[in-house]
Chains A and B, each alone.
Chain A
């Protein structure tokens, strides 16, 4: 007799009473549990990616705060008192919740920008530079070296909003899109009346994280050394990467030192804590559901074996080994488990693609495929399910 014929007979004897309805229900329970688990991991991971500002998510750089000293009646008119010294920067680096501190270096020389004569727009302006690690959107060509007539700039998207909805409307100037601004080149005159240089400025991006006009650090350094030698270049603003800015000890630290920051960011981070709690709760619920799904499937396997008890006993009496029968059952059930997890992973991929598209419509960047924790969860699910189902089968057959 061919092997498949033997398998068919064994299938009839051992699985003939399983019931396709019950099998489908058990697999559905398992699939729902696994899918929910993978989705919850996916949601958690996506939030983590967004909240930690990965993938250039410029709208959710919520862990980055710009910190400056509050201008009070006492220090008003004494700019040196609003600057940070190295001791203060080091202290802030070791403050509660703080993960990293970056210095916003500003220009100490005059800067005058002129848009071409058609629009006839010109303004004095300030520039700042920040270490690359603190930027939410860093273009690939974000660098400058002495002698380069082109200077890339990143402008705060808030400034563009102010211009479009405030200044432009009130002054009868044209409103500008991000693309149109990026296509414009303007003259950037740096230095005083006696000694100046003119560069061509290009806006290469917009920042949601830093309210400033940013240029590469090398440009600020060059300008300060050339046009403002000997001037105190201590920073007036710091950019701080914070684990949880809403933490009381961090807020108290800022208050005690009279530092000021964007309180909206603090509020957002409270919301973030809520989101994380909800995600964690969803994860726990999903874990519970997967546990129930696994339990339902294992009960189905045990019920199937129990219903085939007479056949199983007789097969053992005829000389079929428990190992052979266990392996036969495992070969029937484990592919189903594997297929179910693969189906769940497929659903997670579809969900991630949808989430990436949806996030894209909100100007947020999410990967089109689930992150590694989702695959790790799927892999772990397969391993655990294989272990539980195998154990259930081996134990059930050993009972005979």
Chain B
């Protein structure tokens, strides 16, 4: 699945974007299948906005975003849900877990959508990130770091061609980041997927094919 952006400008940031030279906004950019892209962006330059637009959560932009033949501004809701279930996965900056469900149930609600990952594999992933004893804890009672790790595992429980990550390690310490990176690399490789990682600071968690400034 190829991603192409043509002169994409988020309407709320239109005036701001004209003031500096972005490598993504208002440019023609193409990301090929399997590429590992890092997008560095200072706070307030539209990092989360970009991830949301790529994931189809926002349509308040000019220009065009294409996921292969799918034009995101024209795509219908059923097609969008199919893309989200089978082609594009995301780790939200704000985690977006169901607070009333346990960590395990938060994973199951995603895993059971496609059933490509087995239940025991999902639990094992959670264990690898050090959350074995938090399996049955309600998400609302978990710390931000724990929630972020659950959100990371959840994003890996579906087939995907692209993994979008919006500051995925912002609440993790270095040791947990290394564990999470290792897990993500493994699953991404297994899916032969591409990644788009958006973060504030430059990093080398993954082997990026391109680094762009937003």
User: Which of A1, A10, A318 is the most central at the interface, judged by chain B CB atoms within 10 Å of its CB?
Assistant: A318
Which of B15-23, B66-74, B103-111, B170-178 lies at the binding interface? Answer: B103-111
Q: Are A13 and B109 also in contact (CB < 8 A) when A319-B85, A321-B82 are?
A: yes
* Residue B32 is within 8 A (CB to CB) of chain A in the complex: no
Q: Are A13 and B81 also in contact (CB < 8 A) when A5-B108, A317-B96, A318-B113 are?
A: no
* Residue B100 is within 8 A (CB to CB) of chain A in the complex: yes
Is A314 a contact of B113 with CB atoms below 8 Å? no
Measured CA separation A100–B92 after assembly (Å): 81
Task: Mark B70-98 against chain A: 1 for CB-CB distance below 8 A, else 0.
Answer: 00000001100110111000000000101
* Residue B187 is within 8 A (CB to CB) of chain A in the complex: no
Q: Which of B57, B85, B101, B112 contacts A12 (CB 8 A)?
A: B101
* Residue A339 is within 8 A (CB to CB) of chain B in the complex: no
Is B108 a contact of A318 with CB atoms below 8 Å? no
Q: Are A9 and B101 also in contact (CB < 8 A) when A319-B84, A321-B82 are?
A: yes
Is A322 a contact of B85 with CB atoms below 8 Å? no
Measured CA separation A317–B84 after assembly (Å): 7
Q: Main SS of chain A's interface residues?
A: helix
Q: Are A319 and B158 also in contact (CB < 8 A) when A12-B100, A314-B96 are?
A: yes
Q: Which of B55, B81, B101, B110 contacts A322 (CB 8 A)?
A: B81
Which residues from A are CB-within-8-Å of B85?
A: 318-321
Which residues from B are CB-within-8-Å of A320?
A: 81, 85, 113
* Residue B189 is within 8 A (CB to CB) of chain A in the complex: no
* Residue B119 is within 8 A (CB to CB) of chain A in the complex: yes
Q: Which residues in window 290-327 of A have CB below 8 A to B?
A: 311, 314-324
* Residue A78 is within 8 A (CB to CB) of chain B in the complex: no
Is B77 a contact of A321 with CB atoms below 8 Å? yes
* Residue A6 is within 8 A (CB to CB) of chain B in the complex: yes
Measured CA separation A128–B114 after assembly (Å): 84
Q: Which residues in window 93-137 of B have CB below 8 A to A?
A: 96, 98, 100-101, 105, 108-115, 119
Is B81 a contact of A321 with CB atoms below 8 Å? yes
Which residues from B are CB-within-8-Å of A398?
A: 77
Which residues from B are CB-within-8-Å of A9?
A: 101, 105, 108-109, 112
Q: Which of A6, A314, A321, A322 contacts B98 (CB 8 A)?
A: A314
Is B81 a contact of A316 with CB atoms below 8 Å? yes
Which residues from A are CB-within-8-Å of B84?
A: 317-319
User: Which of A1, A9, A316, A320 is the most central at the interface, judged by chain B CB atoms within 10 Å of its CB?
Assistant: A1
Nearest CB in chain A: distance from B94 CB, A:
11
Cβ-closest chain A residue relative to B86: A319
Is A6 a contact of B81 with CB atoms below 8 Å? no
Task: Mark A161-193 against chain B: 1 for CB-CB distance below 8 A, else 0.
Answer: 000000000000000000000000000000000
Nearest CB in chain B: distance from A111 CB, A:
86
Is A322 a contact of B109 with CB atoms below 8 Å? no
Is A318 a contact of B109 with CB atoms below 8 Å? yes
Measured CA separation A318–B89 after assembly (Å): 8
Cβ-closest chain B residue relative to A324: B81
Nearest CB in chain B: distance from A48 CB, A:
50
Nearest CB in chain B: distance from A120 CB, A:
94
Measured CA separation A187–B55 after assembly (Å): 101
**Known A13-B98, A321-B77; 6 more pairs at CB < 8 Å:** A1-B108, A6-B112, A13-B101, A318-B84, A322-B78, A323-B78
A-B contact pairs, 26 of them (CB 8 A): A1-B112, A1-B115, A5-B112, A9-B108, A9-B112, A10-B109, A16-B100, A315-B109, A316-B77, A316-B81, A317-B84, A317-B96, A318-B85, A318-B113, A319-B82, A319-B84, A319-B85, A319-B86, A319-B110, A319-B113, A320-B113, A321-B78, A322-B77, A322-B81, A323-B78, A398-B77
Partner-B contacts on A (CB < 8 A): 1, 5-6, 9-10, 12-13, 16, 311, 314-324, 398
6 A-B pairs with the lowest CB-CB distances in the bound complex, closest first: A319-B85, A319-B84, A321-B81, A1-B112, A6-B112, A322-B77
